[in-house]
Amino acid sequence: MNKTIMMMTIKQFWSRKARILIAAVFMIFPFVMDMMMRQVHHEKILSAAGSAHVVPLLVLVIGAGIIGQDVSDGILPSILSRPIERWKYVFSKWFAISSLVIGLAVITLCCHVIYAYCITSNFPTEIAATLASIVLLSFGTMSVMLLLSSLLPGAADLGVILLLCVASFVMFILEEALKIPGMSAAASNIFAVLFPSFDPGDIKSLQSLFSIEVGRYVSVVLVCLCGSIILVNQKELSYGSN
């Protein structure tokens, strides 16, 4: 891990005002959910799980173009001409954005807990599980984003993910409306790969670590990380005009 690249990646996000604004809007999401739950269901005890739902959105906003943007902006040659191994650059970028997303999601979770306590006088449920989900989702989704960004220029990775999300929704609708079998299952699998995670509540013993969900999460994350490193290692750059 390279501390300089990590700090640069985090500062890079803070220099992009539009992204900060969108991330801030997404961070309000759990509170809006709580207000709706209170209005519609008059619930006395709220769930903290909503805070984990902002993670994929934050990853999409903060992590878009994590490598592709550096390539398009032409700053990658100057970074890689310095004594830094390419795998360290990739890994540092992934870890930096994942950590930033976790940090922002934890802030959201804390505010969420305080807010829920203020309006219901009860602490929300599933705080620990939500915290674990935030960590799993951040590292998982970011690894998928990293792979796509290593392949595509600029922020095209975001476009591909949004396209796949739209395709998945269409598949859900197709099964619901036209009763085409298998569509929902396929869409769920696409979502499971795009936003890899598993329910930390299911890990009750050492044996449960060998479940399909955990296996899928670990394999998606590993394949994406290794794939990104291989792609960046093989990437040919030229600092001149093409």
Residues that bind another protein (CB under 8 A): 2-4, 8, 11-12, 15, 73-75, 77-85, 236-241
108 vs 30: CA distance, rounded Å: 8
Least Å distance, CB 57 to another protein, is 23
CA–CA gap between residue 242 and residue 240 (Å, rounded): 6
In the bound state with another protein, the residue whose beta carbon lies nearer, of 71 and 147, is: 71
Q: How far apart are the first and last CA of the chain?
A: 32
The CB-of-3 to another protein minimum distance in angstroms stands at: 8
Relative orientation angle of helices 156-178 and 50-63, to the nearest 10 degrees: 140
* CB 142 to another protein: min, Å: 21
Query: Which residue, 7 or 45, has its beta carbon nearer to another protein?
Result: 7
Nearer to another protein, 66 or 116 (CB): 66
- CA-CA distance, 161 to 163, in Å (whole number)? 5
- Choose between 76 and 220: whose C-beta lies nearer to another protein: 76
Can you spell out the DSSP letters for 104-140? HHHHHHHHHHHHHHHHHSSPPB-HHHHHHHHHHHHHH
Q: How far is the CB of 97 from another protein (least distance, A)?
A: 16
